[in-house]
Amino acid sequence: MTGQNIPGVAVLESFGYRAPLRSALTRAGLSTVATAPAGGFSINLAAISAAPAAGPEAGADKGRRWIAGVTCGVVYVFPAPLSVLVTSVSSAAPDGLIASVAGVALIATFAASASAALSDERHREAGAVTFLVAASGLSFAGISPAFWALVAGGVVLIVLRLRSR
């Protein structure tokens, strides 16, 4: 849940959208359960797919950016039969090439997200700790770094609020 859904929500919020978290997570979970018998993996609010469809690259009018999201979803269905070929080509690529391409594609999203997370002085330290723990790759008890990043950032936020009283 934290590996993609929470970053997906964070990306949406960094562009000024408020995702209905409870209903979105419920629908994603139920869709995952429904598609699992047919080989479906995980249906989630993926940050990498949300970023280009929610950002200014999708259009100046925020009220019409949903068209980019729907278009992405429809377009993703068509190359699905070619996923074996894409996986084979990706596996044959030199180490780090795919990660580098994805990293370059997300530079603007990272800049906007970091700016939003660190802009409010009251939350700056908690945002920085959240980012650093997520970037560290810390995984404990089989739980992803995204979860531990949220825990660490939340603890820092609580401690700072208690200290300022």
pLDDT in tens, 102-153: 889 888 888 887 888 788 888 889 989 988 998 898 888 888 888 899 999 9
From 3-7, 63-67, 99-103, the region with the lowest mean pLDDT: 3-7
User: What average pLDDT does the segment 72-89 reach?
Assistant: 84
Q: 154 falls in which pLDDT band (50, 70, 90)? A: very high
Q: What is the DSSP string of 2-71?
A: TTTHHHHHHHHHHTT----HHHHHHHHHHHHHHHGGGT-------HHHHHHHHSGGG-S-GGGTHHHHHH
Burial of 12 (0-12, 13-18, 19+ CB in 10 A): buried
Which residues share a beta bridge with 143? Answer: 140
* 51-62 confidence digits (pLDDT tens): 778 888 888 888
- CA dist 134 and 127 (Å) reads 11
The mean of the pLDDT values for the chain is 84
- Range of 15-19, 34-38, 79-83 with top mean pLDDT: 34-38
pTM over 0.75: no
Q: Phi first, then psi: give them for residue 79, nearest 5 degrees.
A: -80, 0
pLDDT over 90 for what percent of the chain? 12
DSSP 91: H
Q: 1 falls in which pLDDT band (50, 70, 90)? A: low
